[in-house]
Amino acid sequence: MSDPMEEIRASYFVECEELLESLQDGLQQMDDGHDDSETINVVFRAVHSIKGGAGAFGLDDLVKFAHRFETAMDEVRAGRFVPDSAAIKLFFQCADILADLVRAARDDAVIPESITNPVLDTLDEMVGTSEEVEEEIEFAPMVLNLDLGGGGASGLPDLPGLPALSGLPDLPGLPDLPGLPDLPGLPELDSALPLPPASPAGQTDNSGNQLNHFRILFSPENSLYSSGNEPLYLLRALRDLGEIKVRCDTSTLPGLGDLNPENGYLSWIIELSTEENQTTVREVFEFVDGLCDLDIATADDTALIAENAVAPQPELTVTAEPDTSAARLPDLVPEIADILPDVTPEPEVAPALDKEPEPMDTSTAEYDAQSAAGAQSSAKATPTQPRATVRVDLERIDRLVNLVGELVINQAMLSQSVAETSLPQNSPVQTGLEEFLQLTRDIQESVMMIRAQPIKSLFQRMSRIVRESSAMLGKDVRLFTDGENTEVDKTVIERLADPLTHMIRNAVDHGLESTADRIATGKEPVGHVTLTANHRSGRIVIDVTDDGAGINREKVRQIAINKELIAADAQLSDTDIDNLLFLPGFSTADKVSNLSGRGVGMDVVKSAILGLGGRISISSVEGKGTTFSISLPLTLAVLDGMVVQVAGETLVVPLNAIIETLTLTEDDLRALGPQTHVVQIRGGFDPLLDLGAELGYRAPKDSYIGDIVLLIGQEDGKRAALVVDAIEDQRQVVIKGLEASYGRVAGIAAATILGDGQIALILDPVDLVSEATGRTRVPPKHLSIAG
């Protein structure tokens, strides 16, 4: 395994994407009028957590930006700034920049401050924060007078150490201090410490560094104990700094009758010889600063303190151990606890543990990659790890997907050979094979699920596209989304980003009217773009809808004529005209705008969608708006297909494209021209396409009577009848792409390997039909009657 910090860094960026997502969500909710504190908190926390991690990895640009953004959000959280819609818009902008900064940090790129600073300045100005709020008060001393009556800190429970006190009925109280050595715990301390041979105590250590001498007076207040602090550990921390001599001052210890078990009565005088300076020594007391009387004097002043010291106390000499491991130290605790009026944490793991903790290596590990990785893996086994997740290289999953694909093929081959042995239908082999089939499908489904993820991340990217493009065009646009949790193959999501971006830009730019036009036609000034995703009959359908003016078909037609895409007298249905938008080189914008006119037309969108095994269709109502509908396969890896024979070739037709199969009778067929036939099915006429001829395998036949046809349905409701020679089987096939090895083949989606090891091509029926009808349409005099 690689460097654990690198792993965490990588997972930090993954977490950032999630945080950015909830940031977007939160801002969207604020924009929708939810100003409850939890919504604002979610936003704040997202920025805060991004900053936190960025700090850990030294991503300064990110920290800086996140910090100022966080400060502004803190103002909102505290109710000192109430954001209006303009402010929320700015927050969105900040979120976008934050996202950019995260990705820049991930990719080691830099985003110039000229981009980030103006936004931050606007933010500061609006919210009323300023940059120099910042000051490091890290370890600044604080004088605290805490009322410890509240917060559940008072009323200490039964002290584990207390019973020991009952063994001291003879304790004569304060004046009789010499009685103290009889306390059960204390005198034993020296012997209780199995100390390693201490390094020879001298004025200088091995490295010859100058030793500093401190005398420390340390008198805890009661609040020190109730805050969970423990003098013993502080003494140990001091011991780790050098050589110490500790004396306990019990002079304020009352008689037992007056002893309040909740109070602390002891103070300590510590002599410390250390290489460290006073600041370091003081740091030991950082947590108890304000909870005790503390006096740290350098050696020169020590005489005075010695004077004030009370009668000789049993000395506790503890020397710094070379090994800082805490492993043996808790042995000490019970003894000390006996005399400390304090709750001491149980040193041992509670026996009531439900599960045995994973055995841990107790030796002090270096903070290096190897031991950390080992420690990490053992920590993974601890039962309390929250929602266990494993990060897996996508390549490994793809390998699994491929293997399962091979399994499917293998299963098919096995089924085929078993079928050829003509075993009885209910033979154990057949039954076993059925179960095998079921299992294979289950495995396949599970494997596919690994690759699936909610489409939400893609939708959020689109919300940014809407914001940016509407700002650039000066249009007021709102994006509505639905079905964000629809799960889609990861690769599909990635490859959808570009076409979808273009479609969204297109909707904002061309779909929606200008604000003035909207007002003029009595529409709401704010344009709506709606992005939805859902599963529909084994496919994923993504709709991009705008409530704009709809497609101006006369204009589209005119442009197509001007560009000689169609003949001037072509008779086209509305759908035909709409589909002209997908022709290469078509652009409806009068003036090439900054946005959509980037040399990318809807034809590119269409081919990207086709490349994903999807299709795209348009529906538009004049004055009401336009919907682009993308339909995609659930997975890129397998499909249910019908295996057919055509002109001696075996082909697979995706099952979900087939509406029905039928055998043609004379009554079904109508000749439309010398080579053009239509099929009459349930009152409708559908074009007849000879698959063998369309694919160039053979010349068109003279007669199709008695032939089998597959009725193919398209997203837009168009249909076509494909002539095949025979239907062989229905089965699941593994998709093997052709494009990488060969290139795109018109009418063919991909290939697959059949049970006999032979390759069969997978038909792209919709592409085939549109290619075929397209050929007959241009020149449009022979317009086919498709649709």
Partner 1 sequence: MSLEVLAVDDSRTMRDMLNLALTSAGFTTHLAEDGVHGLEVLDGLEPNVIITDINMPRMDGFGFIDAVRSQEKWRGIPILVLTTESASELKVKARAAGATGWIVKPFDPSKLVKAIKMVAG
Partner 2 sequence: MTDNTKKSDTATELLSFLVGGQDYSVDIMSVREIRGSAKATSLPHAPPFVRGVINLRGTVLPLIDLAARLGLETGQDTDRNVIIVVDLGERTVGLMVDAVSDILAIPEEDMQAPPDMAADETHNFVSALTIVDGRMIRILDLNAIMPDQNEEAA
List, edge to edge, every strand of the sheet that includes 669-671.
Answer: 658-663, 708-713, 719-724, 684-690, 677-681, 669-671
CB of 481 to partner 1, least distance (A): 23
Q: Which is nearer to partner 2, 634 or 772 (CB)?
A: 772
Q: Which is nearer to partner 1, 353 or 390 (CB)?
A: 353
DSSP output for 753-764: E-TTS-EEEEE-
**Residue found by looking up tokens 């969608």 in the block:** 609
DSSP output for 10-45: HHHHHHHHHHHHHHHHHHHHHHTT---HHHHHHHHH
CB of 53 to partner 1, least distance (A): 4
**Residue found by looking up tokens 């019973």 in the block:** 163
For residue 219, how many other CB atoms are within 10 A of its CB? 18
Q: Which is nearer to partner 2, 21 or 694 (CB)?
A: 694
List, edge to edge, every strand of the sheet that includes 477-482.
Answer: 477-482, 527-536, 539-546, 625-633, 615-621
SS3 744: coil
Report residue 409: phi and psi, to 5°.
Answer: -60, -45
Q: Which does 712 bind (CB under 5 to 8 A by kind): partner 1, partner 2, none?
A: none
CB of 378 to partner 1, least distance (A): 7
Q: Based on the shown chain and the rule CB under 8 A, indicate whether residue 5 belongs to the binding site for partner 2.
A: no
Q: Which is nearer to partner 1, 180 or 189 (CB)?
A: 189
Q: Which of 653, 751, 772, 783 binds partner 2 (CB under 8 A)?
A: 751
CA distance linking residue 262 with residue 167, whole number of Å: 18
Residues 674-733 that bind partner 2 (CB under 8 A): 694-697
Spatial CA neighbour of 509 closest among 480, 538, 536, 549: 549
Q: Which of 737, 775, 781, 785 binds partner 2 (CB under 8 A)?
A: 737
Q: Which does 740 bind (CB under 5 to 8 A by kind): partner 2, partner 1, none?
A: partner 2
Q: Based on the shown chain and the rule CB under 8 A, indicate whether residue 2 belongs to the binding site for partner 2.
A: no
CB of 393 to partner 2, least distance (A): 21
CB of 122 to partner 1, least distance (A): 23
Give ∠ CA 653-659-664 in degrees, rounded to 5: 90
**CB contact at 8 A, 684 and 698:** no
Spatial CA neighbour of 769 closest among 752, 741, 750, 749: 749
Give burial (CB, 10 Å; 0-12/13-18/19+) of 784. Answer: buried
The 758-777 contact track toward partner 2, x by CB under 8 A, reads xxxx----------------
Element (H, E) at 422: none
Q: Based on the shown chain and the rule CB under 8 A, indicate whether residue 367 belongs to the binding site for partner 2.
A: no
Q: Which does 746 bind (CB under 5 to 8 A by kind): partner 2, partner 1, none?
A: partner 2
- Determine what percent of the chain falls in helix, strand and coil, rounding each to the nearest 5: 40, 20, 40
Q: Which is nearer to partner 1, 254 or 345 (CB)?
A: 345
> For residue 228, which amino acid is it?
G
Q: Which does 300 bind (CB under 5 to 8 A by kind): partner 2, partner 1, none?
A: none
Q: Which does 206 bind (CB under 5 to 8 A by kind): partner 1, partner 2, none?
A: none
Q: Which is nearer to partner 1, 323 or 435 (CB)?
A: 323
Q: Based on the shown chain and the rule CB under 8 A, indicate whether residue 644 belongs to the binding site for partner 2.
A: no
Spatial CA neighbour of 419 closest among 409, 406, 433: 433
Q: Based on the shown chain and the rule CB under 8 A, indicate whether residue 645 belongs to the binding site for partner 2.
A: no
Q: Which is nearer to partner 2, 625 or 747 (CB)?
A: 747
Q: Based on the shown chain and the rule CB under 8 A, indicate whether residue 745 belongs to the binding site for partner 2.
A: yes
Q: Based on the shown chain and the rule CB under 8 A, indicate whether residue 360 belongs to the binding site for partner 2.
A: no
Q: Which is nearer to partner 1, 5 or 177 (CB)?
A: 5
Q: Which does 448 bind (CB under 5 to 8 A by kind): partner 1, partner 2, none?
A: none
Q: Which of 289, 649, 725, 728 binds partner 2 (CB under 8 A)?
A: 649
Residues 378-407 that bind partner 2 (CB under 8 A): 402, 406
- What are the E-state strand segments in 275-431? 292-298, 315-319
CB of 399 to partner 2, least distance (A): 12
Strand pairing of 638-646 and 726-734?
antiparallel
The 405-444 contact track toward partner 2, x by CB under 8 A, reads -x--x-----------------------------------
282: CB partners within 8 A, 6+ apart: 296
> For residue 565, which amino acid is it?
L
Give the interface with partner 2 as residue ranges (CB under 8 A): 402, 406, 409, 649-650, 694-697, 736-738, 740-748, 751, 753, 757-761
